[in-house]
């Protein structure tokens, strides 16, 4: 499995896949389109990613997570691009939109913080206590990692060194202020200085070349930039006392003319470096934000998908044929609804039928007890290792006893929740269950419409389980698991799907064709 990292800069987009050892396995760079609309760039990203993956023979199913680094402020949950001056974005739901297009769990991170995190986890900052990574590019950003945590600050604005005011009433900045550091020391700032000095055709490259040839005006411009930037970095070092300072970004390639004199300036002006401060180039160079984005913490990994075939929807007159085809289709479970006509207003599947099916297949059973007093039913199920049995919390005052009986019989225990049952009901039995069965229709009949709040409830349940430290508890969804709904349910956090007449047994195609189509959608 790979981790996808995307670094959206002011002028370039860097896309890469990290292998299991956190090395870059595949990489592609492209220009940022002239249009700056978030929606258009997200669409462009998807199209570029499609081509990139196809060229390298990688499928979306081989990617666990996606992190996107952006040059601006990101919401605490990593979903919203709050303010991205160089792109003109404000309050854009970039992560959600990209996730909806690709199906990949996606989180945003400010690009400089991504660079620092990537270096801390896999590069030059490994084993260090406080890592500061300065990104020199279209903007000037600072990522800070303290004791293994990305430092965002209480106001979520930590590290915005590029927006330190250095010139009173100076050049206008994309942040809305004037005289910001990056408007004199970042790429566009140096370009403005070059144009002011040498005309509209001048570039930062011309500036460095002229300075290299000892032209006084160019030397002065670059020296001024070094002093401004150096003062900002010295302030950070004096304030935080880090043990690691790294440089990344496109401008960091100017080693002789920019980085070396900058390091010299820093060492000469810092308050106290006696304890030792490592200063160097980022191990990943300009790829550091990409690596850090791919490794961004708190992304829920793409969860495996399992299919549970609802025997209620099979052809009862040709059941052995359907079960054989389910086996051929690679179905993970056979789902049995056991109803008593009291807990739900329907009757389905006797113990004798389930026992007969048990003797004809090795596919594990997924048994849903929609009965009062499930403790009376459990001993009659002839359970095996790999089976799952779900009981409703409303069906017995002794839920823990029922779950224990299931586990003692060698199967995995699960708690079932009706559409109106609060997710918090699972709290007291978290240590006893392997799965939560979430009903997205009122139980008892097939072919019902999805309850409106189901997707949101799946997401809330997944978040609740993860926050309680039970990431391994699976979520099964039962009710209108159609071709349209299953991808959305999976994106919300569901793992196992009870498939019936709206997907796996949908008329017009074979079971195998429907199963393969659903896998392709996912």
What is the residue whose two structure tokens read 């890592």? 131
Query: How far apart are alpha carbons 400 and 433 in whole angstroms?
Result: 10
Query: How far apart are alpha carbons 106 and 132 in whole angstroms?
Result: 25
Burial class (CB in 10 A: 0-12, 13-18, 19+), 469: exposed
User: What are the structural domain ranges in the chain?
Assistant: 2-108, 124-282, 306-521
Which helix (H) or strand (E) is 310 found in, with range? strand 306-310
Query: How far apart are alpha carbons 266 and 246 in whole angstroms?
Result: 12
Task: Look at residue 64 in the predicted model and tell me its pLDDT.
Answer: 87
CATH of domain 2-108: 3.30.420.40
E strand residue ranges, 100-221: 106-110, 130-136, 140-146, 149-150
E strand residue ranges, 323-387: 333-340, 347-348, 365-370
Burial class (CB in 10 A: 0-12, 13-18, 19+), 93: middle
What is the SS3 assignment for 67? Answer: strand
Task: Look at residue 446 in the predicted model and tell me its pLDDT.
Answer: 63
Task: Look at residue 117 in the predicted model and tell me its pLDDT.
Answer: 96
Of residues 322, 332, 387, 478, which has the active-site annotation?
Answer: 478
**CB neighbours of 199 closer than 8 A, spacing ≥ 6?**
none
Domains 124-282 and 306-521 are alike in CATH topology: no
Residues of the chain with pLDDT under 50: none
**Residue 478 among the catalytic residues:** yes
Q: Are 32 and 41 in contact (CB under 8 A)?
A: yes
CATH architecture of 124-282: 2-Layer Sandwich (3.30)
Q: Are 351 and 380 in contact (CB under 8 A)?
A: yes
**Alpha-carbon distance values, 232 to 255, 396, 513 (Å):** 19, 65, 62
Let me know the angle formed at the C-alpha of 245 by 243 and 247, rounded to the nearest 5 degrees.
165
**CATH number for domain 306-521, candidates 3.20.20.70, 3.40.50.880, 3.60.10.10, 1.10.10.10:** 3.20.20.70
Of residues 337, 340, 387, 412, which has the active-site annotation?
Answer: 337
Which of these, 323, 264, 287, 326, lies nearest to 516 by C-alpha position? 326
Query: How far apart are alpha carbons 164 and 157 in whole angstroms?
Result: 12
Q: Which two tokens stand for residue 130?
A: 């406080």
């Amino acid at each position: 499995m790979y981790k996808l990292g995307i670094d959206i800069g002011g002028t370039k987009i860097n896309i890469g896949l990290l292998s299991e050892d956190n090395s870059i396995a595949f990489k592609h760079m492209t220009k940022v389109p002239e249009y700056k609309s978030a929606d258009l760039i997200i669409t462009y990203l998807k199209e570029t990613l499609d081509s990139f993956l196809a060229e390298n023979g990688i499928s979306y199913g081989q990617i666990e997570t996606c992190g996107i680094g952006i040059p601006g402020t990101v919401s605490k949950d990593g979903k919203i691009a709050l303010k991205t001056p160089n792109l003109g974005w404000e309050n854009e739901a970039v992560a959600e939109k990209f996730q909806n297009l690709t199906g990949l769990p996606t989180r945003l991170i400010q690009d400089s913080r991504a660079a620092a995190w990537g270096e801390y986890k896999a590069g030059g900052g490994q084993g260090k206590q406080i890592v500061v990574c300065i990104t020199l590019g279209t903007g000037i950003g600072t990522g800070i990692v303290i004791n293994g945590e990305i430092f965002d600050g209480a106001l979520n604005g930590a590290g915005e060194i590029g927006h330190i005011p250095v010139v009173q009433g100076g050049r206008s900045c994309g942040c809305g202020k004037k005289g910001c550091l990056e408007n004199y020391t970042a790429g566009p700032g140096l370009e403005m200085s070059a144009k002011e000095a040498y005309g509209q055709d001048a570039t930062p490259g011309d500036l460095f070349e002229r300075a290299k040839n000892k032209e006084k005006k160019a030397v002065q411009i670059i020296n001024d930039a070094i002093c401004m930037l150096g003062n900002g970095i010295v302030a950070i070092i004096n304030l935080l006392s880090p043990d690691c300072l790294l440089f990344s970004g496109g401008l960091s390639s100017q080693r002789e003319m920019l980085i070396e004199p900058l390091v010299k300036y820093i060492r000469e002006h810092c308050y106290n470096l006696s304890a030792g401060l490592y200063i160097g180039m980022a191990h990943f160079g300009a790829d550091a934000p990409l690596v850090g984005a791919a490794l961004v913490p708190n992304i829920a990994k793409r969860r495996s998908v399992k299919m549970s075939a609802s025997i209620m929807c099979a052809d009862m007159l040709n059941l052995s044929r359907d079960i054989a085809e389910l086996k051929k289709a690679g179905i993970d479970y056979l789902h049995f609804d056991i109803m008593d006509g009291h807990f739900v207003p329907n009757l389905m599947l006797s113990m004798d039928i389930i026992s007969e099916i048990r003797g004809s297949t090795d596919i594990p059973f997924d048994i849903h007890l929609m009965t009062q007093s499930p403790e009376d039913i459990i001993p009659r199920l002839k359970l095996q290792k790999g089976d799952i049995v779900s009981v409703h919390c409303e069906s017995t005052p002794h839920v823990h006893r029922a779950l224990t009986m299931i586990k003692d019989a060698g199967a995995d225990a699960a708690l079932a929740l009706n559409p109106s049952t609060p997710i918090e009901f699972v709290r007291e039995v978290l240590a006893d269950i392997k799965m939560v069965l979430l009903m997205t229709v009122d139980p008892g009949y097939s072919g019902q419409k999805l309850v409106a709040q189901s997707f949101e409830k799946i997401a809330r349940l997944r978040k609740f389980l993860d926050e309680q430290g039970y990431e391994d508890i699976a979520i099964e969804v039962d009710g209108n698991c159609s071709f349209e709904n299953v991808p959305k349910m999976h994106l919300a956090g569901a793992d196992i799907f009870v498939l019936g007449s709206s997907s796996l047994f949908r008329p017009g195609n074979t079971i195998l064709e429907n199963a393969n189509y659903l896998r392709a959608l996912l």
